[in-house]
Amino acid sequence: MGKHKKERRRSRSRDRDSSSKKQKKRQDSSASSSESSSDDEKDKKLDSLLAKQRAEKKRLKQVEKQRKKELEAPEEKRERRLKKKAKKEQKRLQAQGIAANETVYDNWNNPFNDNRLTDTFIWGKKLEKEGKADLSKKTIIKEIKKRTEKNYREMEDLKRARDARAAAKEDMDMIQRDEEKRMHGDWDKKEMEFQLQQAKFRTQLRIEQNRAKPIDLLYRYIRFGDQEDAKSSKENDFELVEPSSMIKGLTMDDYEDLLADIDSIIKLEGSTHIQFWNNIRTLIREEIKKLQRARHEREAIHSAVEDRINDILKGKSIDQLSELEKQIRTKIRDGAAGTDITFWETLLNKLIIKVAQTQLKELHMKMRKLKIEQIRQEQMLEVNALNEESGQKREIKKEERDSDEEGPSASHESRPMPKPKTAEQQEVEDEMIEHKLNQQVDVDALEDPLLDDMKREHKWRALNPEQLEYATIELYNRGSYSPTYGDIKDNMPGIEVIDESTDAASLDQRRQACQKKPEGLTETEAAMVAIARKGMQGDEAMFSVELPLETESYLWSDKYRPRKPTYLNRVQTGFDWNKYNQTHYDMDNPPPKIVQGYKFNIFYPDLLEKHKTPTFTVTSCDDPDFAIIRFKTGPPYEDVAFKVVNREWEVTQRNGYKCQFANGVFQLWFQFKRYRYRR
């Protein structure tokens, strides 16, 4: 019983505890439900507020959109609709799985006039053959989309592989270039040396062909002072002319070309003759300024200012000019009050030109001394060679005399008596000695008719005196300088034969006439004396006391030797677009070029008669398609001729004809007439 009571009490206590727990849970659940209901109400209110705001914003947007539609122009309206339609089409293509950048055309803009161009093509016959005719259109489009995407992925893979191969090839090329650079480290230096040698060769070739440019003459001049070139070069026999005179009388285009050529030479040579080329460039820029001032017909410097500048710079050395240049630059940089900047800048420009001219003159004096020393050395070598050969001859003759003197006394000795030489043996021995001394000159090569005058003269100059004597005697013996006598009956009609005594008497008479002095003044001298006496006053008198000077040798002695003039000629070529060429050719496949004109520029700087204008004549030759144009002038220049195309000239200035002689340059420019077919 006691146990049952205890159990009942325990069960009742458990029931009370469970009931209390349930009641507590009910209270908690009721409180939480009340809280959740209040939160739901707040969320609903917030959502409704946001919806109202969105609706209001959308309404305002629609109102603004409608207002813009009412205000827009017809063109803007059309553009807006096209954009809207393109946007819809783009969305449709994306829905079908076609990227926008993969399509070039659309349904409204394509050259095929196909309004279903972007629709997916379904090949019904192929599907029936593959047994897929019962598939739905959606499934077919889905498969086509997958296949298209697969193809594009493969295409991208191929692009990446191709880019990888290109990158690998570029890396290999870079590695190969680095390897070649290591193997040929001095390739750039060798290339520069090769280009320099080619420039020297081109210069020498143009000089030999008598078509030298100013840069060729300047380059030959400065190379003459180099010891290596002086030893290796065989063409040092030329007239030394001051370099400043080589750049005078050129045109603006020639000066610009000369500056470009100087830059190329400096790039090849480096700083070898940089001072010389800088001085030449300074003088060229001054000549260009003179041409520009002459073109505008005005002088930039007043004559009084120019005289003052010349007085300041006159007689100053290089050191004095350098010191003056520093002072002028300081004065210009400071710019004190009252300083005439324009005058000092002008003086600075003239000073720079004066420095360049002075340095070139000093260089020219050194070149002259070097030339004189070279001539002396050549003369000494020739004299020494002549003395050695004559000494050898004397020794040979002395040995012969000694052998003749010792012949009788040698009979007392035990050695055998030498056999006396016969006349034939002596003659043979003399011929062998003479042959050895003369070194067997090839006379036939000296007088080869295929050689031009310059090469023949070089060969004759290369002979030593003994060889020259041998060659002259040999040619004399052959009869080259002794014409055979002919019969007077063989003369052509109209040719008068003069007796030798009559010719000698006539020659003496002409010599005496030339040696006679005129008794009075000639008309030209009388006119000059009258001009000199004009304006003389009573306190003036004639002054003609001349002091004797020391004899001096000058280097300009061969300045007026007969020679060919220097020329710079150009030929103008182009296409003739006649009816035939227009039919059979085009710009990608042009017709053959033809000669359309010539430009002759011939230089006569040392004419004795400055007022005499050169002339030219055109004569026919063996080939009727060509003609010979010959330029004639006075001494010291010889005539020069060229072979040109034989066609009719345009002789109007409008068509480019030019024939003038100024500043020692004769220019003849002309173009050929163009014939047109007309019915």
> Would you state the structure tokens that stand for residue 369, as one six-digit string?
């001394």
pLDDT the model gives residue 232 = 46
Extended strands (E) in 141-233: none
> Would you state the structure tokens that stand for residue 378, as one six-digit string?
């050549």
609, HSE (Cβ side, Cα atoms, 13 Å): 8
Euclidean distance between CA atoms 175 and 169, whole angstroms:
10
Euclidean distance between CA atoms 448 and 111, whole angstroms:
80
pLDDT the model gives residue 417 = 45
Euclidean distance between CA atoms 113 and 90, whole angstroms:
19
pTM: 0.33
Euclidean distance between CA atoms 151 and 159, whole angstroms:
12
Sort residue 541 into left (φ over 0), alpha (ψ -120 to 50) or beta. Answer: beta
β-pair partners for 617: 630
Give 245-266 pLDDT, tens digit per residue: 787 778 888 888 888 888 888 8
Residues belonging to the chain: 679
> Would you state the structure tokens that stand for residue 147, as one six-digit string?
């296949």
Q: What angle do CA 413, 416, 418 make, to 5 degrees?
A: 115
For the chain, list residues with pLDDT below 70: 1-36, 93-104, 185, 225-239, 294-308, 310-311, 335-341, 387, 389-442, 449-450, 478-497, 513-560, 677-679
- b/e per residue 420-429 (b: at least 16 CB within 10 A): eeeeeeeeee
DSSP string, 520-542: S--HHHHHHHHHHHTT--TT---
In the block, tokens 């021995």 appear at 429
Q: Please check whether residue 394 is in contact with residue 437, taking contact to mean a CB–CB distance below 8 angstroms.
A: no
**Sequence-separated (6 or more) residues with CB below 8 Å from residue 276:** 222, 243, 360, 363
The phi, psi pair for 546, rounded to 5°, reads -115, 130
pLDDT the model gives residue 541 = 43
Helix (H) or strand (E) holding 619: strand 615-620
> Would you state the structure tokens that stand for residue 165, as one six-digit string?
């191969």
In the block, tokens 């520069």 appear at 192
Q: Please check whether residue 650 is in contact with residue 672, taking contact to mean a CB–CB distance below 8 angstroms.
A: yes
Euclidean distance between CA atoms 285 and 255, whole angstroms:
8
Euclidean distance between CA atoms 306 and 314, whole angstroms:
12
HEC string of 634-670 equals CCCECCEEEEEECCCEECCHHHCCEEEEECCEEEEEE
pLDDT the model gives residue 658 = 92
- CB 309: neighbour CB atoms within 10 A? 18
Euclidean distance between CA atoms 668 and 560, whole angstroms:
25
> Would you state the structure tokens that stand for residue 326, as one six-digit string?
């520093």
β-pair partners for 620: 627
Euclidean distance between CA atoms 68 and 85, whole angstroms:
19
Euclidean distance between CA atoms 207 and 236, whole angstroms:
12
pLDDT the model gives residue 166 = 94
- CB 542: neighbour CB atoms within 10 A? 9
pLDDT the model gives residue 415 = 41
pLDDT the model gives residue 347 = 75
The phi, psi pair for 628, rounded to 5°, reads -115, 120
Extended strands (E) in 32-182: none
| 394-399 contacts, C-beta under 8 A, 24 or more apart | 396/433
Give 620-638 pLDDT, tens digit per residue: 888 888 999 999 988 888 8
Of 259, 298, 265, 297, the C-alpha closest to 281 is 259
